[in-house]
Amino acid sequence: MVTIAVDRVRRAAGEVTDPEIPVLTIDDLGILRDVRIDGSDHVDVDISPTYSGCPALETIQADVAQRVRDAGYENVTVNVVLSPPWTTDWMSDAGRRKLREYGIAPPRSRGADMRLLQLAVECPVCGAAHTNEVAHFASTPCQALRRCGSCSEPFQHFKEH
Amino acid sequence: MTAVAVDPAAVYTLRHADDCLVLSHRLAQWSSRAPSLEEDVALTNIALDLLGQARALYTRTSELDGTGRSEDAHAFQRDERDFVNCLLVEQENGDFAVTVARQLLFSTYQLETWRALGGSTDRQVAAIAAKAVKEVTYHLDHATQWTLRLGDGTAESHERMRAALEQLWPYTAELFETDAVTDDVVARGVAGDPQRLRAAWDSSVDQVLREATLERPSTSWTPTGGRRGLHTECFGYMLAEMQHLHRAHPGARW
């Protein structure tokens, strides 16, 4: 029973979207780390920040708490867990696909040796592999600004982190 | 000193928290004033990373010293002499070359410091450092790319970068100083020995300068005092601006 309840709360919490990139849920991002329910129905949710100063974190905390209350659990604590540090490798395949469709190049995957598995950052508009970085940072700390060498469109790239 | 910090580890984390906060504010001062929109965004994003690191370290400081002081109280309700950041981070932005030089010198130091703290016996500090090391690696890359472009650029950009390094170099000696606080945290395995960071810092900075066709400045003047609350003149003005709103409206929230 407890497992079913935890799964239900976890699904509800996982549906919270990132206020900066609203096509992604926190489950897609891989920042929802754990959900626990104790004997007196107190819920603990652990989430990890993408970056130390991520301004979306407080909004996400509040949204998660609200979702858990909506699921029938009044007492909820949303903990911020730093260790182990979040990495883009925890982003789901669904999350990567949604990002591409949204016009943001997803982070490249890394193998066990931390090498990037695929060298080119592909243009999310035309799919060309020939793109260049224009700036190290973009509208959020987790993105960089690039331009496509083929269709010339500028686009954002969710950086490997 | 109004800061009640019995545990030297609390003083140590406060020093690094203040470094992060003060540099974060300096970089934020570039907002809407950077040479290009991309740089405006880059510098303020770096500022945001540093602010996040400062918040985590202030929280840890308050746990270690037992005061429970809030992040806002640390940032806005302490006076100049209570801040224990190094002098380098409080130096004025100057032209873009000065800001790039400050980023290069400090990010290199911060990266080595976080790497060492990743193995800290204080698990919370180790977690903060492991998170921060990824961010600062990127800050250093940003500073390195600009040092190369300015140093190995035009005669004008080279001269500005040379002058910037000469202006800031004296403040780097303080980064590697040891005292009773560092002796204690090093002995307990909370932090790495600042003097041992020096070799890695030297070789990393020297390599970038060489590639950027810049020379390592030679100076015998080594100002110090930041870690004891003794600051350069510009810091008081920065703090007054930074704290004004919070002090004018105590308890105000967004």
The contact set of B with A (CB < 8 A) is 38-39, 41-42, 45-46, 48-53, 55-56, 123-124, 126-128, 130-132, 134-135, 138, 141-142, 145
* Residue B254 counted as domain residue: no
How near does any CA of chain A get to the CA of B126, in Å?
A: 9
* Residue B155 counted as domain residue: yes
* Residue B1 counted as domain residue: no
Residues of chain A neighbouring B45 (CB-CB closer than 8 A): 137, 140-141
Predicted pLDDT of residue B177: 96
> Least CB-CB distance to A51: which of B41, B135, B141?
B135
Q: Is A132 on the interface with B (CB under 8 A)?
A: no
Number of structural domains in chain B: 1
* Residue B3 counted as domain residue: no
Identify whether A84 is preceded by a cis peptide bond (ω within 30 of 0): yes
DSSP line for A52-96 = TT-TTHHHHHHHHHHHHHHTT---EEEEE--SSPP-GGGS-HHHH
pLDDT per residue as tens, chain B (254 positions): 444 447 999 999 999 999 999 999 999 999 999 999 989 999 999 999 999 999 999 999 999 999 999 999 999 999 999 999 999 999 999 999 999 999 999 999 999 999 999 999 999 999 999 999 999 999 999 999 999 999 999 999 999 999 999 999 999 999 999 999 999 999 999 999 888 899 999 999 999 999 999 999 998 899 999 999 999 999 999 999 999 999 999 877 76
* Residue B253 counted as domain residue: no
Residue pairs spanning A and B at CB distance below 8 A: 68
- The C-alpha atoms of residue B30 and residue B156 are separated, in whole angstroms, by 21
Distant-in-sequence, close-in-space partners of A77: CB < 8 Å, separation ≥ 6: A42, A43, A44, A45
A32-37, strands of its sheet edge to edge: A32-37, A43-47, A76-80
Predicted pLDDT of residue B86: 98
Predicted pLDDT of residue B3: 47
- B45 → chain A, closest CA residue: A141
pLDDT band at A115 (very low <50, low <70, confident <90, very high): low
Predicted pLDDT of residue A120: 84
Q: Looking at the predicted structure, is the pLDDT value of residue A37 above 90?
A: yes
Tens digit of each residue's pLDDT (9 = 90 or more) over A13-32: 999 999 989 999 999 999 99
Distant-in-sequence, close-in-space partners of B79: CB < 8 Å, separation ≥ 6: B2, B239
Predicted pLDDT of residue B5: 47
Q: Report the half-sphere exposure of B97 (CA within 13 A, side-chain side).
A: 22
* Residue B161 counted as domain residue: yes
Q: Report the half-sphere exposure of A16 (CA within 13 A, side-chain side).
A: 28
* Residue B84 counted as domain residue: yes
CATH for B53 = 1.20.1260.10
Residue B175, domain extent: 8-215+222-248
